[in-house]
Amino acid sequence: MSDIDKLSSAFPESVFSAGSEEYKAAAGSYYSAFENEVKPLCFLQPKTAEELGGMLVKLTATNATTAVAVKGGGHMAWAGAANAEQGITIDLKNFKGIDLDLANGVVTLGVLENWASVYAKLAEHGLAICGGRVDKVAISGLTMGGGQSYHSRAMGFVCDNVTNYEVVLASGEVVQANKTTNPDLFVALKGGSNNFGIATKFTYPTFKQGPMWGGGTVVGGEAWPTIVDKVYAFVTSTDPADKHGAFIAACAYFPQAGLDGCVVSLTSTDPTNVSKNLRAMANIQPQYMNMIRETTTLSQLVEDEGKFNEDNKRGWWMTMTIKLSKEFLVKAQRLYQDMCQETAKRVAGFGLAMTLQPHTVDQLQASKDQGPNALGLSPEDGPLMNLLLCSLHEKVEEDEKSREAANKLLDDLTAVAKGLDVYHRYKFMNYATKGQEVIESYGPENVKMLWAVSQKYDPEGFFQKRVTGGHKLPCLNATIPAT
């Protein structure tokens, strides 16, 4: 009897092989075309944490060469991030639910809830949580990779705000992880991803949230130096009103959509006290489109952001972090423009966004104040700037040409950053591609801590040896990048 037959016999209503409607739906449910093209032997779709635990026990006894993947929302861009070619993919599609505890001021979420459903439910009570910014993204991967929020300047990373995880271990045991129960696992899950077990529920504190301010503008590419100046002013500001604010600024080259310029997304969680720095960014010229709303909602903002994230497209994501530097950001645009013009000549439908988002000193201090996480950052590291390259192209045969062009641009940007002494080791997991050495970027002490947690909760190394997706722990003797 094959491994698939054994699993099907044990879990007849939760194992779906090629040819079934359930398999077809699961195989096409990823964000990226690359992931949708991966063909596992079967999808496992457990209905409870206990059933998932039983599956993990069975999987530990299957062929050790058969890869296992774990699919949460499936929003990573690279093939194999949450799927296993000719392997076994655990699909967490059934782990939904929003359990709001008004008396204790917390909400517990199944990991496959998305931010649209969460915010809509919380808004019924005038509440929110520190969560994601794209409506259809599930809470699982974003939170366990760190996560950036409209509330991050005041509240830290999304992972900092989780107060409890329900986790299924390779042994099949269902455990809780919080500050007092399995506290080492609790810390490791804050940025450590799927290296220790499979999280099935997260608990977050809620807070009052009324209307918000924000939206986006589209401006000419010649405005980039002005954007850089305004970004610098916002990131370094000590104005209390800026703690309510957030921005995403991007150079955007998508000629097939008629876009070759810059996009600036702005928000304030307090529409009665929008900072002068946010107002200045909202008024940058020349301006071709202005979608700023003086009064809006968290739900509307994440819906708007979701419109920039179309499913089943071919494209690459990759990331780097720099110390805040005007000189670097101006030089970065020149490299970006040259790369776009050259690559568009030889790659059909090529497009690229170079996106900036800050990790301010305020955010890093809030992160520290919330308690330890796995990311290896401190307020002294800041202010930092995350840079994301997000490309698109049309044809399968141009996958490698597009990837090589994006990789070269990232290498060139890294060289400039190092030349200016503004390169920072940290890599934001949510935007990293395969091979970017995310866990290494957390620093040697955190790598040792994460290995200790792995060896304690997964002593046979199932999540290191068998679970191939995500960003794995590096060898203990690996070279860890310096800041």
Q: How far is CA 139 from CA 206, 298, 426, in A?
A: 15, 16, 22
Domain termination residue (choose one: 47, 62, 91): 91
CA angle (436 as vertex; 93, 37 as ends), nearest 5: 40
CATH at residue 390: 3.40.462.20
Average pLDDT of the residues of the chain: 96
pLDDT of residue 477: 57
Same-domain check for residues 290 and 414: yes
Same-domain check for residues 356 and 402: yes
For residue 63, pLDDT over 60 is answered with: yes
Q: Average of pLDDT values for 151-163?
A: 98
| Cα of 19 vs its chain's centroid, Å | 32
Same-domain check for residues 363 and 254: yes
CA atoms within 13 A on the CB side of 238: 0
CA angle (389 as vertex; 249, 306 as ends), nearest 5: 60
Q: Average of pLDDT values for 333-361?
A: 97
Same-domain check for residues 228 and 302: yes
User: What confidence tier does 345 reach under pLDDT thresholds 50, 70, 90?
Assistant: very high
CATH at residue 103: 3.30.465.10
pLDDT of residue 476: 66
pLDDT of residue 40: 97
For residue 8, pLDDT over 80 is answered with: yes
Same-domain check for residues 178 and 86: no
pLDDT of residue 182: 98
User: What are 353-404's pLDDT values in tens digits?
Assistant: 999 999 999 999 999 999 999 999 999 999 999 999 999 999 999 999 999 9
Looking at the DSSP assignment, which residues form a beta bridge with residue 260? 253
Same-domain check for residues 145 and 189: yes
Which has the closest alpha carbon to 415: 304, 320, 338?
A: 320
Which has the closest alpha carbon to 296: 213, 197, 232, 190?
A: 213
Any domain includes 458: no
Sign of the alpha-carbon torsion through 338, 339, 341, 345: positive
Number of structural domains found in the chain: 3
Same-domain check for residues 49 and 103: no
Residues in the chain: 483
pLDDT of residue 391: 97
pLDDT of residue 62: 83
pLDDT of residue 3: 84
Same-domain check for residues 87 and 133: no
- HEC per residue, the chain: CCHHHHHHHHCCCCEEECCCHHHHHHHCCCCEHHHHCCCCCEEECCCCHHHHHHHHHHHHCCCCCCCEEEECCCCCCCCCCCCCCCCEEEECCCCCCEEEECCCCEEEEECCCEHHHHHHHHHCCCEECCCCCCCCCEHHHHHHCCCCCCCHHHHCCHHHHCCEEEEECCCCCEEEECCCCCHHHHHHCCCCCCCCCEEEEEEEECEECCCEEEEEEEECHHHHHHHHHHHHHHHHCCCHHHHHEEEEEEEEEEHHHCEEEEEEEEEECCCCCCCHHHHHHHCCCCEEEECCEEEECHHHHHHHHHCCCCCCEECCEEEEEEECCHHHHHHHHHHHHHHHHHHHCCCCCCEEEEEEEEECHHHHHHHHHHCCCCCCCCHHHCCEEEEEEEEEECCHHHHHHHHHHHHHHHHHHHHHHHHCCCEECCCCHHHCCCCCCCHHHHCHHHHHHHHHHHHHHCCCCHHHHCECCCCCCCCCCCCCCCC
Same-domain check for residues 217 and 202: no
For residue 23, pLDDT over 70 is answered with: yes
CA angle (296 as vertex; 290, 298 as ends), nearest 5: 115
pLDDT of residue 184: 98
**What is the C-alpha separation between 387 and 391, in angstroms, rounded?**
13
Q: How far is CA 185 from CA 178, 190, 204, 457, 459, in A?
A: 8, 9, 17, 8, 13
- Please give the biggest Cα pair distance in the chain: 68
Q: Average of pLDDT values for 75-95?
A: 96
Domain termination residue (choose one: 91, 119, 144): 91
Q: Average of pLDDT values for 70-92?
A: 96
pLDDT of residue 61: 86
Any domain includes 461: no
Any domain includes 239: yes
Same-domain check for residues 150 and 224: no
Looking at the DSSP assignment, which residues form a beta bridge with residue 261? 252
Q: Average of pLDDT values for 280-294?
A: 97
Rounded percentage of the chain residues whose pLDDT exceeds 90 = 94
Any domain includes 468: no
Domain holding 375, by residue range, is 212-431
Q: Which position has the higher pLDDT, 143 or 477? A: 143
Q: How far is CA 195 from CA 90, 177, 242, 321, 452, in A?
A: 15, 14, 36, 23, 11
pLDDT of residue 163: 98
**What is the C-alpha separation between 3 and 283, in angstroms, rounded?**
61
Look up the pTM and report it: 0.96
pLDDT of residue 65: 86
Domain termination residue (choose one: 431, 447, 478): 431
Least confident of 62-66, 232-236, 432-436: 62-66
User: What are 102-137's pLDDT values in tens digits?
Assistant: 999 999 999 999 999 999 999 999 999 999 999 999
Which has the closest alpha carbon to 322: 231, 218, 203?
A: 231
**What is the C-alpha separation between 462 and 97, in angstroms, rounded?**
28
pLDDT of residue 481: 52
User: What are 241-258's pLDDT values in tens digits?
Assistant: 999 999 999 999 999 999
Same-domain check for residues 102 and 119: yes
Same-domain check for residues 52 and 166: no
pLDDT of residue 2: 81
